[in-house]
């Protein structure tokens, strides 16, 4: 029961990372939620350590949790790269605007004195 649910939870997470322009924050939230659910399921199974099937299911859940954490790590790296690109673009745009304003101010100041 838990394994079937865990597999259903894992598939959309992997599919979600293949879309063209997903919102990384939304994907991170979805993966985090799936991880939480799988961890709760693994904890429930851990209450019965003598159950051999439960132990196997818990191992499968733990593997799926590790896979989701790997996906989460990749998404967080991508989001950090996008933030850096955005910050670099903003910095460049502000620099160009300041440069243009500086030249405009000198051009306006020089015009009346000519």
Per-domain residue ranges of the chain: 2-84
The pLDDT value given to residue 42: 93
The pLDDT value given to residue 14: 46
Per-residue pLDDT of the chain (114 residues; tens, 9 = 90+): 445 454 454 444 444 445 466 687 899 999 999 999 999 999 999 888 888 898 899 999 999 999 999 999 999 998 888 888 888 877 887 888 888 887 777 765 444 554
Contact in structure between 4 and 41 (CB atoms under 8 Å) = no
pTM value is 0.58
Alpha-carbon span 1 to 50, nearest angstrom: 18
The pLDDT value given to residue 110: 47
CB atoms within 10 A of CB 9: 20
């Amino acid at each position: 029961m838990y394994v079937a649910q865990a597999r259903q939870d894992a598939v959309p997470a992997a599919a979600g990372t293949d879309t063209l322009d997903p919102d990384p924050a939304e994907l991170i939230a979805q993966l985090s939620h799936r991880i939480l659910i799988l961890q709760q399921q693994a904890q429930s199974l851990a209450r019965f350590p003598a159950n051999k099937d439960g132990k196997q299911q818990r191992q499968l859940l733990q593997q799926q949790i590790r896979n989701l954490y790997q996906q989460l790590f990749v998404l967080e790296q991508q989001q950090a790269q996008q933030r850096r690109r955005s910050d670099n673009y903003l910095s460049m745009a502000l620099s160009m605007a300041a440069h243009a304003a500086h030249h405009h101010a000198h051009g306006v100041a020089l015009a009346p004195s000519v």
